[in-house]
Each structure stands twice: as C-alpha cells, then as structure tokens.
Copies of this chain bind each other. A is one copy, B any other.
Amino acid sequence: MPPVTTEIPNVALRALIERSDYVAAQEWLEERPVWEVADSLDRMDGVDAGIAFRLLAGDRALDVFEELDAATQEAVLDVMRGNEFRDFVDALDPDDRARMVGELPATVAQRVLAGLSPEERAMTATLLGYPEESAGRYMTPEVVRLKRTMTVGEALAHVRLFGPDADTIYTLPVVDKQRHLVGLVDLGELVLANPDSPVTDLIVTEPPRVHATEPAEVAARLMADSNLVDLPVVDAADRLVGLLTFDDADEVIEEADSEDAAHQGGSSPWSGHYMAVSVLHMARARVIWLVLLLAVSLLTVTVGYHFEEALEKVAALAIFIPLLIGTGGKVGTQASSACVRALAIGEVRPSDAVKVLWREARTGLLLGAGLGLLAIGAGIIFADASVAIVVGISLLIICLLGALVGGLSPLAAKKLGIDPALVSAPVVTTIVDVLGLIIYFLVASLVLGL
C-alpha cells in the first residue's frame, strides 16, 4: 500500500464528493489502490457513488467496477440510468461535467444501456461519454456474443437462448474473455455450416470497426463500403460495446446527406419535415448565411464604388458584369460541389490539395478559354472590340479563379475542421463575385487605359 493512504484518510473520498471538490476527488481516485477505491464506493450510496465512479478513468473504472460488491455494482448502474444523475450532471459547470463524461469501459457501458428504450438510451449516451452524433449514440448494445471455443452447434444453441433479447442476430461478434473483439460470424453461414465443426472456421477476423466516440456518419459510410449488415462498435481498448445495424446506418446517412444538401444550398440544416417546419423556422435557418454573405457582397459595392469613374466613362462595361461574375460563380460551384462530394464519400483527402488544385486549374483554363471566345463574340455585338477583348480576357481569368476557389475551399474547410459541405454555391459565388469584379475592372483599366 503506498504511503499516501496515511496522508488522506479513508473517509476523505465521501467528504470530497460531498463538498463538490471533484479535482481533489479525482486525484484521490487515481492514487489509491483499486481495492481501497472499491471499498470506499461500497460504503457510499446513491448518486454520490455514481459521481465517484464516473470520475474514474477508462480501464481503472473497469478494474474498480469488477471489485465492487454486486449490490454496489447494481446501484452504480441504476444511478447512471436514472434522471437524478442526469439532472445533476446537466447542472454541473462544463469543467466538472467534462471530468464526469469520459468514455465508460465497454462492459459497464453495455450493462448501463441494456434494457433501456432507444429514447432512454439516447438520453443516457452523454453520461457514457459518447458525444452528439457519435456511433455510440446509434449503436445497439443488445447483441449475441460468441466465444472462439464454441462449435457451430453450440453457437446456434447460444443464439437461440440469447437471440430473443437481442436487437440483431444477423451478425454475431466473437469476443475473448476481456471482451476484446476477435471477429464476426454471419448468421447465414452459421446456419449453413456443419454443427460439429468449430466456430473458428467461420470467423471473419479483423473486421472493420468503429470507436464508440467516432462520428456515426464515418461509421455508416464505412458500413456501406464494407458491405456489412452490422458494424462492431468498440471502446478505447477495442472491447465490444455494441453493433451499429444497417437500418440505423441508413438513417444516419440520410440525415447526413440532408444536412449536406442544406449546407450546399447555403442554409443551416433545419430539423424536421420540409412541409411541417414553420416559415419562421425556415427563414431563420436561411437568414444567417444570407446576412453573412450580404456583408461579403458589400465588398462588390465598394469595388464598384472604387471604379465608378471607369463605369461613368464606359457605361458598356456595366452590362457585362452579371454575365462575367455569374459564369465565374458557376465554374466555382461546379468545382466545389464535385470536391465536397468527393470528400464526403472519401474519394479525396485533404492531403490531395495540390493534385486537386492542378486538376481544377487545368479544367478552369479549358472552360475559360472556350467561354472566353463566346464572350468576345457577345462583346462585339453589344459593345465594341476593345470592350469585347476586356470581357474575353476577364472571363478566362475568372473561370480559372472560380475553379481554384471552388476546388480549394472545401479542402481548406476540411483541414480547418469545418464541414466541407458548408462551402456552398452561395459561398463560392460570393467570393468569386468580389474577386471577379476586381479582375474585370483591373483588366478594363489596363486594356482601355482608364
């Protein structure tokens, strides 16, 4: 036993919890031997024991949990399932709350979640350390686990025994004694196999898996790519916590794609059915981006204001503004939407930035050259040759620029940890509007000597 035990007496933990000194309590819990922590918890009751337990980190929490009296184990699980503890944690200041919502080890998490309805599960997920939109929030903990030592017949008997309580039995995870994920057995293959052969013959080892705190969208896309009906969800120590089923994954993908679509349309995502949300709610989801972009658009006004003299001298310049910046915005939108989608489905990674820029630059130049020629024709018809040349050169540069802005922005967003889908057509066109206008007036000043 380390000498510290004599410095802080045994009763201290309860006292520390009671006076809400969670920093000291966490220190105490880290320093004391497991049996002493368990013993202290056994003497506490209700929410206090729950709090103390939640202050323990990862593997240590598991060690302590296993050392607890059966009654205290139940009490701690009950506390974490209950409203009282939830209300208590909600009321904490953020620092203390963060101390108390570290990820629980799989064994305990699963026992907390077992028997809860999906709604209760969602509410409890925060307390287990699973962030919003994480795989842990969508998974089902009620699965049938197999052991490596079983025969096919034993495994089937095991499935018949525990299957009725499980949410899915299509996929049967195989775990070792410490609950580490060993592999997966497919129910179909189990049914078709010889009952006497060992289950190890059927195990798919090293299956794809996600960590419970990872985003559910990542998990769902991984599932779609790996053609699994159910994807194993593990804790930080690779212990099985549950399975993400294909129907939950479908839901996650539909939500994610709807969110991306809203972002790509230049509005915040709204919650709910298009026909059901209120007009005010819809306007609120849209107005933020509009005001933000209007502020940026004011730069076009200042650019125009700066070149007002040039516009007074050659009024014909004004009539090509919508065509030029509009086309630039379109080239930019094509590039950005292609990159956003490629990022979403994993075809492009932020490290590909240089290659993407090089691709988009060449595409932009190709498009700009073709459209520039068409624009020169229009310039000759509606103005004169000199304006036509200004319009043609400007369009070439604006297309190149649009493609570069469109290609680079989603990658930059991703690198900055922002959702690339936020790089929408409205965002790209606004940037290209401002830059395009500057280019147009600069080219005009140079060519026409204004």
The distance in angstroms between the C-alpha atoms of A290 and B265, with both chains bound, is: 19
Task: Name the segment of A69-77, A100-108, A117-125, A187-195 touching the other chain.
Answer: A187-195
Sample (14) of A-B pairs whose CB atoms are under 8 Å apart: A170-B188, A191-B191, A224-B247, A224-B251, A265-B338, A274-B341, A282-B363, A283-B367, A291-B371, A297-B326, A298-B323, A302-B382, A305-B319, A311-B315
Specify which chain B residues have a CB less than 8 angstroms from the CB of A200 in the assembled complex: none
- Name the B residues within 8 Å of A308 (CB-CB): 315-316, 318-319
Cα(A302)–Cα(B301), bound, Å: 22
Q: How many Å lie between the Cα of A363 and that of B313 in the bound state?
A: 40
Known: A188-B170, A192-B160, A266-B337. A304 touches B283 (CB 8 A): no
Q: Which parts of A306-350 form the interface with B (CB within 8 Å)?
A: 308, 311-312, 315-316, 318-323, 325-327, 329-331, 333-334, 336-342, 345, 347-348
Contact with B along A344-377 (1 / 0, CB 8 A): 0101100010011001001100110011001100
CB-CB nearest in chain B for A161: B192
Asked if B366 and A334 sit within 8 Å, CB to CB, the answer is no
Distance between A108 CB and nearest chain B CB, rounded to angstroms: 28
Copies of this chain, complex-wide, total 2
A416: CB under 8 A from chain B? no
B residues in contact with A316, CB < 8 Å: 308
Chain B residues closer than 8 Å to A257, beta-carbon distance = 257, 341
Cβ of A229 within 8 Å of any chain B Cβ, yes or no, is yes
B188–A289 touching, CB < 8 Å? no
A286 within 8 A of B: yes
- Interface residue ranges of A255-303 to B (CB < 8 Å): 257-258, 261-262, 264-267, 273-275, 279-280, 282-283, 286-287, 289-291, 293-294, 297-298, 300-303
From A20-28, A30-38, A129-137, A423-431, the one touching the partner chain is: A423-431
Q: Is A153 an interface residue (CB 8 A)?
A: no
- Report the nearest B residue to A268, measured CB to CB: B334
Q: Is A250 in contact with chain B by the CB < 8 A criterion?
A: yes
Interface-central residue, A159, A333, A339, by most chain B CB under 10 Å:
A333
Q: Tell me if B191 and A156 are in contact (CB < 8 A).
A: yes
Give the complex CA separation of A191 and B161 in angstroms: 11
Please measure, in the bound complex, the distance between the C-alpha atom of A430 and the C-alpha atom of B246, giving whole angstroms.
41
In the complex, A163 has a CB within 8 A of chain B: yes
Contacts of A218 in B (CB 8 A): none
**Distance of A54 Cα from B157 Cα, bound (Å):** 50
Determine whether the beta carbon of A191 is less than 8 Å from that of B170. Answer: no
With contacts A254-B224, A348-B275, A371-B291 taken as known, whether A341 is within 8 angstroms of B286 at the C-beta atoms is no
